[in-house]
Amino acid sequence: MHRVGWFNERRSALAALSVLVLASCGGGSSDETGTAPPPVTQTTASAVGKAIFFDTSLSASGKQACGTCHVPTRAYTGDPTTDHGLPVPLGGPNMDQTGFRNAPSLVYASFTPPFSLTNGPTGGFFRDGRASSLATQAEQPFVTPFEMANQDAAEVVSRLLKSTATLQAFTAVYGEAVLDDPPAALEDMGLALAAYETEDPSFHPFSSKYDYWLQGQAQLTAQEQSGLDLFNNPVKGNCTACHPSQPQGYDSHALFTDFTYDNIGIPRNWQIPANTQDSVSPIDSAPLSTVITPVDVPNDAEYRYYDMGLCGPFKSATDDPDARVDLSQTTGMCGMFKVPTLRNIAITAPYFHNGNFQNLHQVLEWYVTRDINNNTANNPNPVAAGPGGNPYMAIGTFYLSATGTPDLDEYNDLPADYDANVNVGEVPYTPPTFGGGQAPTLTAQEIDDIVAFLCTLTDGFDPTSPSAYNVPAQCAPIASTSTTQGISR
């Protein structure tokens, strides 16, 4: 019997506890007759989860753990420097197999609601909502061939048996008898990881400059305040339409996501090996052992493989007790991905599900000039490069082919048959003025201001020592616009 429901019923209470993780676990274990283990307290389960989270010996390579792709100092997202600069994580038995999506941040993930289609797709875990809970999501990387690469739950348990410290912590909480039932043991590992990601304060610190400003303990600079105003302005940035800066009922804090799904026509990232035909590992030229069968790709599509989010190609685990419905035939949802939180966005580059953009300026420049391009095959209002063309791309477009020239299609990470799925009805998306649109809704200066505000969403601000705030270089104010003037809430 699945125990995921047991965890879900207690998620809200767990989030409120914010208890400290025990430094070590103690207690007895079950004997060979199957005596029940001691009652599981969330604090001890969290400690087990922490041990599992950082235990690389539980992978086929012996070099990968949850914490490899979800690095604490990067808001529990990936680190491109350890992935040879790729936008997707490396994994597999030899750490030479590439993933398919940019690793998302796990900070604040525990607030994600269950997947629902009631008011449009909302919630669920992974970027496509295919896992029903944090616990079921946490199980999957152990048996995914391009991640931790165990063949099955039995292989995971065989590695757990050899990891003395983690095994001791696990059996002290869940008992020894469950080890004879590998699927149940892997399920308990998922529950422990979910407890850790729900309880440990590092996963929901709410310690950004913005949080302290709301409490009246910090000041926003004039540029940061301008950025917040533009962020919220429905005719300028309109960022808050999907990334609300006010609480939405999931927590008393603003989470800067509404957990909905959107198709915004992100450009194709040619650094993902799956996006090129007959690709091999960029690490050692080894064949890529995992070939994902694409779904819903028309025969006349420009490319063979597309990642289309809710439509697939990834499917829910067969043992997920509450998996969402298969949406592969609901082609109107092809290309839709879950809206991520913008908390800690300044330290979680690269951006979007395919990691196509390296910094926040690029993201915003693309947002406001997306449809000002020279991709002639499917843009009804193409604009030539040069004067009057895209002001941020000398080549005329963000939509490039594998050779770096303008691609035939805009929205080139989606088959052109599904162009109608792309969100074109909200600010800041706009066609060129001669096509009935308007000038970009943000100037270069206003983009700088929004980036400055986004940087205030980085956790780790100390109101007693604001100069010690550790934010990346992209957050440094531009000299001509920087200001020391503070604005109190």
pLDDT in tens, 385-424: 999 999 999 999 999 999 999 999 999 999 999 999 999 9
Encode pLDDT of 178-228 as tens digits: 999 999 999 999 999 999 999 999 999 999 999 999 999 999 999 999 999
Q: How confident is the model over 132-148, as a mean pLDDT?
A: 98
Residue whose C-alpha is closest to residue 25's, from 48, 5, 9, 58: 48
Amino acid at 33: T
Residues pairing with 309 in the sheet: 336
For residue 120, report the phi and psi dihedrals to the nearest 5 degrees: 90, 160
pLDDT in tens, 304-313: 999 999 999 9
- SS3 helix, strand, coil % of the chain, rounded to 5? 35, 5, 60
Contact 402, 426 (CB under 8 A): no
> Per-residue confidence at 36, pLDDT binned at 50, 70, 90?
low
Tally of CB atoms within 10 A around 34: 12
User: Is CATH 3.80.10.10 the right assignment for the domain spanning 4-70+106-203?
Assistant: no
- Check: CB of residue 459 under 8 Å from CB of residue 344: yes
pLDDT for 158 beyond 80: yes
What's the pLDDT score for residue 69?
A: 97
The single-letter DSSP state of residue 131 is B
Which of 61-65, 67-71, 173-177, 274-278 is the least confident region? Answer: 274-278
CB 351 within 8 A of CB 398: no
Domain boundaries, the chain: 4-70+106-203
Tokens 């100390």 locate to 462
Please count the other Cβ atoms lying within 10 Å of the Cβ belonging to residue 359: 16
Q: Residue 42: pLDDT band by 50, 70, 90 thresholds?
A: low
Residue 40 tokens, joined: 């599981």
13 Cβ contact list (under 8 Å, min separation 6):
none
The Cα 259–Cα 340 span in angstroms is 7
Residue 22: is its pLDDT beyond 90? Answer: no
Confidence band (pLDDT; 50, 70, 90) for 38? low
Say yes or no to pLDDT of 249 above 90.
yes
Q: How many CB atoms lie within 10 A of CB 70?
A: 24
Please say if the pLDDT value at position 488 is more than 80.
Answer: no
What is the b/e burial string over 49-63, where b = at least 16 CB atoms within 10 angstroms of the residue's CB? bbbbbebebbbbbee
Q: How many helices (H) and strands (E) does the chain have?
A: 12, 6
Share of the chain above pLDDT 90, in %: 81
Residue 346 is predicted with a pLDDT of: 97
> What pLDDT shows up at residue 465?
95
| pLDDT of 37 | 57
pLDDT band, residue 436 (cuts 50/70/90): confident
pLDDT tens digits, 271-322? 999 999 888 899 999 888 887 888 999 999 999 999 999 999 999 999 999 9
Q: Please name which of 265, 240, 424, 253 lies closest in space to residue 337, comparing C-alpha atoms.
A: 265
Q: Which of these, 235, 214, 113, lies nearest to 457 by C-alpha position?
A: 214
C-beta of residue 236 within 8 angstroms of C-beta of residue 441: yes
Q: Which of 446, 354, 347 minimizes the C-alpha distance to 399?
A: 354
pTM, to two decimals = 0.90
pLDDT of residue 473: 87
3 state SS of 281? coil
